[in-house]
Amino acid sequence: MGRNWRNKSGRSTAGTSGMAAGTSGTALAVALAVGLLGLTGCGGGEDSGDGGEGSPSASHADGGSQPPAPKGPDRVGAAPSVVPSVRDWKAVRGPGWERTKYTRVVTDSGSLKDEAKLLADELKVDVARGPARTGDIELKRDKKTKGGREGYELTSRDGKVTIASAGDAGVFYGTRTLLQTYRAQHRFAEGTVRDTPDRPQRGFSLDIARKYFSADWIKERIREMGDLKLNQLQLHLSDDQAFRIESDTHPEIVSDPHLTKNQVRDIVKLAESRHITVVPEIDSPGHLGAVIDAHPDLQLRGAGGQSPRGAIDIANPKAAGIVDDLLGEFADLFPGRYAHAGGDEYQALMSQNPEETYPGLAKEAKDKFGKKAKIQDLATDWLNDRAATLRKHHKMPQVWNDGMHRGGVVTPSKPRQVAYWTGREDGEREPEEYLKEGWQVVNMNDEYLYYVIGQPNNFTYPTGERIYKSWTPAVVRGTEPVPDKYAGADDIVGGRFAVWGDLADAQTTAQVADGIRLPLAATAQKLWDPQKPERSWSQFVKLVDRVD
């Protein structure tokens, strides 16, 4: 939020009265009111707010009548009401901006037409080309604006708002700040916002394999994410219980219900309109039970007849072929930069003695990589190959931290990013170890950011209050932050709040949406600005309710 926020009312303590004292000030106010009535014929152009007569007139849109000067007291107004809070707000004296019947969203940039139309629809006003006038909201690209493609500057002056950024995403985020503040205050005070996120990756991860979430439910979360300035949606598409996306290369593995490709295209299109990248995850070599159901010959089997659920036989070349088919098939359907290759909880490596339990894999490892090789080397090689497949399709691979093994003959390939979720894995590698090795980390700390439906395995539903008060992107595992030298955005590139469907029937999708609302807002706040918030938790909750 703005650093001049001080009191519970949401108003700055400076400049509480801007009206000049004495009879001359009164006379001036009366004269101004009479003049405005004569100009507009509607009491100074106060907006009806119903989208009917409150819509911009055709004569104004065509350059006919002139809008009135802004009205209201000449004072320092309230700081913006927005989640996540703006990082820099400089207030000045003035009446501020209000939506009136003259208000338009104005842009001369072709790339911003979607942002302009969305905001205009939300405010029930028209879109127009420049020049901008009193009452208007102007959107523009400006390479000189600081903060990169996601930073923006919002200036409210003389009854007009200008939102500028070096990138379309930054302009969009500026419109969210304006819209939320308008919802909460019905105006925007005079002043300037300069805002930019602390982390480049700010997201939400959803397991649609174990629990099906409809396309409409996902779209609602995308709209919610857009308002919160989150920019990544990870979809966990496959697991032991189901494979939830239409496939042309392997239709035999697809479960019902599932997302059709047309539904996915609609999801991706809506996400792109909110500057959100959809990150697909086909998890392997574990969590492939739905694939194994259709191809039982791929089931991993141990010396004693063990057949761990979801574990594929990575010594079988057919397994790699199927997974690579799927990764390639969905590469264009999800056109974003990132794709998740999984790598977690491969059951062969979770047994007490992997080499004795799974001698077939142990032999394959030695045959392929030498006598010192172990099954973990075979698993590392498997994930390296899947990462290579993704890179061929111009994706940056992301993998779970427990798919990154130390001290083997085979080492993990680069480039890739590590999604750190747990310290429960065998070996319990600390986040600092990955950071020292130069891996970029996405924080998915299961202590704070895991909403596991049904709360199995000692998980409890995370609270927004706990995230808001004690989590930051630097707290990657447990409750303690990594050393400061590794805590920056170059090393910990962001984080995601995650929903997992372990006990799918324990909650309805509506209950999940309600349960994650405040935790997701708190996560967005701390990814945008990890500093200790100036608002109390109760104030933050009230703000979320006002701007929603």
Q: Which residues pair with 232 in a beta bridge?
A: 203, 277
**The two three-digit tokens of residue 520, written as one number:** 């997701």
DSSP letter for each residue of 160-197: EEEEEESSHHHHHHHHHHHHHHHHHHSSB-SEEEEE--
Q: Six-digit token pair at 162?
A: 């200008």
Q: How many degrees, rounded to 5, is the angle at CA 400 between CA 436 and CA 492? A: 45
**Token pair recorded at residue 337:** 């930069």
Tell me how far apart the alpha carbons of residues 11 and 159 are, in angstroms, rounded to a whole number: 19
User: d(Cα 370, Cα 374) in Å, to the nearest integer?
Assistant: 9
Structure tokens belonging to residue 250: 């392997």
Return the residue matching tokens 């955005």. 489
How far apart, in whole angstroms, are the C-alpha atoms of residue 477 and residue 491? Answer: 15
For the chain, state the CA radius of gyration. 27
Q: Which of 138, 150, 281, 345 does the annotation list as catalytic?
A: 345
CA-CA distance, 531 to 463, in Å (whole number)? Answer: 19
Among all chains, which residue has been given the structure tokens 């698993």?
379
* Cα dihedral sign, 214-216-219-221: negative
Q: For residue 222, which phi and psi values (nearest 5 degrees)? A: -65, -45
Count of other CB atoms within 10 angstroms of residue 260: 13
Backbone angles phi, psi at 50, to 5 degrees: -105, 0
Residue 141 bridge partners (DSSP): 165
Q: Catalytic annotation on 345?
A: yes
Q: In 3-state terms, what secondary structure has residue 88?
A: coil
Q: Pull the structure tokens for residue 96.
A: 């501020």
CB contact at 8 A, 143 and 166: yes
DSSP annotation string for 486-540: G-STTTEEEEEEEEE-TTGGGS-HHHHHHHHHHHHHHHHHHHH--SPPSS-HHHH
Beta-carbon count within 10 A of 295 CB: 17
What would the two tokens of residue 409 be? 């003959």
Which residues 6+ apart lie within 8 Å of 169 measured at CB? 149, 150, 231, 275
Pair type for strands 201-207 and 492-500? parallel
Is 236 in contact with 528 (CB distance < 8 Å)? no
The torsion angles phi and psi of 391, rounded to 5 degrees, stand at -65, -35
E strand intervals along 268-331:
277-284
Q: Which active-site residues does the annotation give?
A: 345
